[in-house]
């Protein structure tokens, strides 16, 4: 029997809860989707998370799903999904989510060419953090994070070439998962993006919802059956000499370590063998990737923001000289060796809180880059390594979310998700 719920009830539920209600025939997909579209209409004029809303098409898709005889077999039946502006509704990763029952409600905003750890651009202006609208939500998947955090979508997809899923997850209090390189199809059918740095992944309000989305995206189970005490390394060491974590981020890591010790894991202070040139190695691929992206999209430097044009010039010089593949290969080998003695690494997700919304509009490349190096230096290492990492909320301070990053060796997503779920549950129950 169909159950009538008000809009806030629907949008307060997680993706897996909504899917269960739809699969069992207790709610209609059309009601679920309409409720999320109502939230978009009410909240997005202020928050500016969406580049485009597919209201009419989403309701048509919802009606079609309600008429399907196999609705009970769809793992994400009726779940409203937001996709990032660098994705198309017919991309393979989006197709997989729709085949599982998701309804795409719109495309979310990002900075130009998804280049930055904030979400603002000359063309679209700033996206705002729902916890404090004077602040930025992080980026580049900032619109996706805001959509999930506010109930405008139950799930979202984003991309991550240097933290673009994890940074906004940390600043908005949601879960962001960067999978192992190659585990999830890239937008546009590309074989690689940003010279191998970029992956696509899900954003969700809970670890369980993120796991369900990742299972659909990868086509593989993401539940860990391992029960032994894990070897967990905890590190505050920053790969950037100017990106030191502030007191709030240190406290979030300390709390995570305390919770994990209390759960019986072997927790020790130990840092990965970050080389002094690590961020420079990542940066060269980032520049080259931006140059390749501009060329692929047919964008001349005169059509780009000044700082993006600067990056394109730098990237073209890197491409002419050739990428030093040994730089990435040696780091990947060092990561694999280090993780042979460590199951999970816990670090800060970011080094400091979010900037003011639009604070870097019109600012040149160097100042913008230095802001990023100071604010979020903990993510790029795992893009260069091609290994998975995720961000999970860890309380709050001064009204803003806090989070930690979990990283692991290649294909360790099930383990990372399991640890994140225990942290999520322990934090929710106020465990010490």
Tens-place pLDDT, residues 258-272: 999 999 999 999 999
Selected catalytic residue, list 140, 144, 238, 412: 140
Mark whether 84 is an active-site residue.
yes
Q: For residue 140, is the peptide bond before it cis, meaning its omega torsion is within 30 degrees of 0? A: yes
Residue 364 lies inside a defined structural domain of this protein: yes
Containing 59, the helix (H) or strand (E) segment is helix 55-66
Would 37 be classed as within a structural domain?
Answer: yes
b/e code 398-407 from CB counts within 10 Å (16+ = b): eebbbbbbbb
Indicate if 235 and 102 belong to the same structural domain. Answer: no
> What b/e sequence results for 210-225 when a residue is b if at least 16 CB atoms lie within 10 Å of its CB, and e otherwise?
bbbbbbbbbeeebebe
- Domain ends where: 218, 248, 282? 218
pTM over 0.85: yes
The answer to whether 42 touches 34, Cβ cutoff 8 Å, is: no
Same domain, 20 and 167: yes
Is residue 151, in this structure, part of any structural domain at all? Answer: yes
Do 259 and 358 fall within a single domain? yes
> What is the residue-averaged pLDDT of the chain?
96
Q: d(Cα 155, Cα 210) in Å, to the nearest integer?
A: 8
Which of 35, 84, 141, 144 is catalytic? The answer is: 84
68-118 tens-digit pLDDT: 999 999 999 999 999 999 999 999 999 999 999 999 999 999 999 999 999
Domain shared by 37 and 58, yes or no: yes
- Is 6's pLDDT higher than 70? no
Residue 303 CB contacts under 8 Å (≥ 6 apart), including other chains: none
Q: Would you state the pLDDT for residue 2?
A: 59
Active site residue: 35, 141, 144, 164, which one? Answer: 164
CA distance to 101, 135, 197, 388, 431, per residue, from 180 (Å): 24, 31, 11, 5, 31
Q: Which own/partner pairs from 374-377 qualify as long-range (CB within 8 Å, at least 24 positions apart)?
A: 374/240, 374/242, 374/243, 375/117, 375/243, 375/350, 375/351, 376/117, 376/138, 376/163, 376/167, 376/243, 376/349, 376/350, 376/351, 377/238, 377/239, 377/240, 377/242, 377/243, 377/279, 377/351
Is the same domain home to 383 and 254?
yes
Domain-embedded: residue 150:
yes
Asked whether residue 401 is assigned to any structural domain, the reply reads: yes
Distance CA 426, CA 432 (A): 8
140 is catalytic: yes
* Span 118-174, pLDDT tens digits: 999 999 999 999 999 999 999 999 999 999 999 999 999 999 999 999 999 999 999
164 is catalytic: yes
Confidence of residue 432 (pLDDT cuts 50, 70, 90): very low
Kindly write down the DSSP assignment for every residue of 226-280, as one continuous string. Answer: --SPPEEEE----SSTT----HHHHHHHHHHHHHHHHTT-EEEE------TTHHH
Please determine, for residue 379, whether its predicted confidence score (pLDDT) is greater than 90. Answer: yes
Give the CATH number of the domain where residue 114 resides.
3.90.1300.10
What's the pLDDT score for residue 147?
98
- In total, how many domains does the chain have? 2
Out of 173, 192, 218, a domain closes at 218
| 214 and 345 together in one domain | no
3-class secondary-structure state, position 316: helix
- Among 176, 195, 218, residue at a domain's last position: 218
Find where tokens 């739809």 sit. 22
Q: Are residues 258 and 136 in the same domain?
A: no
- Provide the percentage of residues in the chain whose pLDDT is more than 90: 94
Q: 32 and 103: one domain?
A: yes
* Same domain, residue pair 204 and 248: no
| Nearest of 347, 345, 344, 363 to residue 355 by alpha carbon | 363
Specify whether the CB–CB gap between 85 and 51 falls below 8 A: yes
Residue 388 lies in a domain: yes
- Strand order across the beta sheet in which 175-178 lies: 50-53, 103-108, 80-84, 155-160, 199-204, 175-178, 389-397, 400-407, 344-348, 231-234, 266-269
Confirm whether 210 is domain-assigned: yes
| Domain membership of residue 347 as a residue range | 231-273+339-428
- Residues 214 and 239 both lie in one domain: no
Residue 372 forms part of a structural domain: yes
Residues 248 and 156 in one domain: no
| Claim to verify: residue 185 and residue 236 sit in the same structural domain | no
């Amino acid at each position: 029997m169909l159950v009538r719920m008000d809009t806030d009830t629907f949008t307060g539920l997680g993706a897996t809860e909504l899917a269960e209600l739809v699969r069992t025939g207790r709610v209609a997909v059309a009601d679920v989707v309409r409720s999320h579209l109502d939230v978009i209409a009410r909240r997005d004029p202020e928050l500016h998370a969406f580049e485009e809303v597919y209201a009419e098409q989403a309701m048509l898709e919802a009606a079609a799903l309600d008429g399907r005889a196999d609705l009970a077999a769809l793992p994400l039946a009726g779940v409203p999904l937001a996709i990032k502006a660098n994705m198309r509704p017919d991309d393979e990763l989006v197709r997989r989510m729709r085949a599982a029952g998701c309804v795409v409600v719109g495309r979310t905003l990002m900075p130009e060419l998804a280049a930055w750890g904030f979400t603002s651009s000359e063309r679209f202006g700033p996206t705002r953090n729902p916890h404090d609208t004077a602040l930025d939500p992080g980026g580049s998947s900032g619109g996706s994070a805001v959509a999930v955090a506010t109930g405008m979508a139950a799930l979202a997809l984003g991309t991550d070439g240097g933290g673009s899923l994890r940074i906004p997850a940390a600043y908005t209090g949601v879960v962001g998962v960067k999978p192992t390189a190659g585990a999830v199809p890239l937008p546009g059918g590309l074989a690689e993006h940003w010279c191998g740095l970029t992956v696509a992944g899900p954003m969700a309000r809970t670890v369980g919802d993120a796991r369900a989305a990742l299972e659909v995206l990868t086509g593989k189970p993401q539940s860990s059956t391992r029960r032994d005490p894990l070897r967990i390394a905890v590190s505050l060491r920053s790969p950037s000499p100017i990106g030191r974590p502030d007191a709030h981020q240190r406290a979030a890591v300390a709390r995570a370590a305390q919770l994990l010790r209390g759960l019986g894991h072997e927790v020790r202070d130990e840092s990965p063998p970050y080389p002094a040139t690590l961020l420079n190695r990542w940066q060269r691929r980032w520049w080259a990737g931006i140059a390749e992206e501009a060329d692929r999209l047919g964008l001349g430097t005169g059509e780009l923001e000044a700082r993006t044009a600067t990056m394109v010039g730098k990237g073209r010089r890197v491409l002419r000289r050739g990428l030093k593949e040994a730089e990435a290969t040696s780091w990947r080998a060092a990561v694999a060796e280090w993780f042979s003695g460590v199951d999970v690494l816990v670090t800060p997700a970011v080094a400091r809180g979010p900037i003011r919304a639009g604070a870097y509009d019109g600012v040149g490349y160097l100042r913008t880059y230095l802001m990023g190096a100071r604010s979020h230096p903990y993510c790029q290492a795992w893009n260069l390594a091609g290994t998975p990492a995720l961000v999970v909320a860890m309380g709050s301070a001064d009204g803003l979310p806090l989070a930690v990053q979990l990283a692991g060796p290649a294909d360790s997503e099930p383990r990372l998700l399991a640890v994140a779920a225990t942290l999520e549950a322990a934090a929710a129950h106020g465990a010490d």
